[in-house]
Structure 1
Amino acid sequence: MRKRLFIISIIISFCIAGCNKEEQANRSSVKGILSAHQIDLVIKNISRVPHYDVWTAKNDYTLLVVNFSLKNSRNKSIIVKQAQFNVISETGKIYGAVQTKGNTSILHDRKLKSYDTLQSGIIFEIPKEERASELLFAPSFAKDKPIVISLK
C-alpha cells in the first residue's frame, strides 16, 4: 500500500511540475531571440526617438524603432507584413505598427522563401509615458500562438 501511495505521489508531482514548466514556456520572457513555429526572431536594436527618417511622432508620443532579423526555417515560403507585429505596453495596451511606404530599411509586405533571412525594422508610435514590454509577431500560420519576445 505504501509503494502505491509513493508511486502515485511521484506521478502527481511530475504532472504538476510538467504543467508549471509548460505554463512558464508560454510566458517566456526571452529577450533578443526566440524560435517558434520554425521561425527565428532576433531583436538587434530597440530605440525610442521623436522622429525617424521622414516620420515624426505626434505630440506626447515617441517612435519605438525595432530592428530585427527573421529566419524562416520552414519548408515553405511565408509572407511577413507590418500588420503581423504589435507591441504590448506595461499597462496592457496594444499598439500596431506604423504603416510606412517607400523606405527600404522599414518592413513592407515581403515574401520570405524557405530557409531565407530578412533583416529589417518596424516602427511603433506609443505615448511617451508608456513603456513597451513585449513584441508580438503573429503570422497567419501561427494561428492563436503568436511569437512573443520581452522587450524589458
Structure 2
Amino acid sequence: MNTWHQRFADLLAGNHTTTGDQVDAGAQLVVTSADGTEMFRQALARHHRADPDDAHLIWIRPLLGGFDAEDGYVFNLNLARRRALNWTDGRLEESGDVVLHLVSGEVARVQPAEDQELAELQRWDAFTDRFSAEEDAELGRLEADSWHGRFS
C-alpha cells in the first residue's frame, strides 16, 4: 500500500488522534472545483473500500442526513449513502492531507476532521453503536446504494 493510501485509511480510522482515543479524531472531505472554489465539506464515516474492478475508485460515506430525534441523534442511511471518489492522481501532502484529483476535474482533499465535522463524526459514532454486528458489517462493506433496514 502506498503512503497516501495508508494515510487515507489512518485518517478515516482516527489513527492520528492526539489523545489516544480514536473517537477524538477522524476525517473530513473537502472538494474544490478546478478554480479552487470549495463545493463540498463533510465528515466521513470510518470505513472505505477500494473497488476491486477499478484501481482508481474508492467508496466512502460522507455523513449527511443527521438529525435530532426522540431517541437521540440519528442518520437517514439513504442520505448518508456511499459515494465514489473516481481519481486520476493521488498524493500525500506535507501537511498530512491526502489530495485526489478526480476524473470530474475537481480536487478532493481528505484531512483531519475539525470543528462541526468532527462533532458530526462523533454523533455518527454514537449512532452506529446502536447497530447489530450484521448491520455494522453491511454498512462497512459499502456495496449498496440504498439501505433497507432500520434508519432508512
TM range (shorter): under 0.3
Using the size of structure 1 for normalisation, the TM-score is 0.27
Asked which structure has the greater CA Rg, the reply is 1
Using the size of structure 2 for normalisation, the TM-score is 0.27
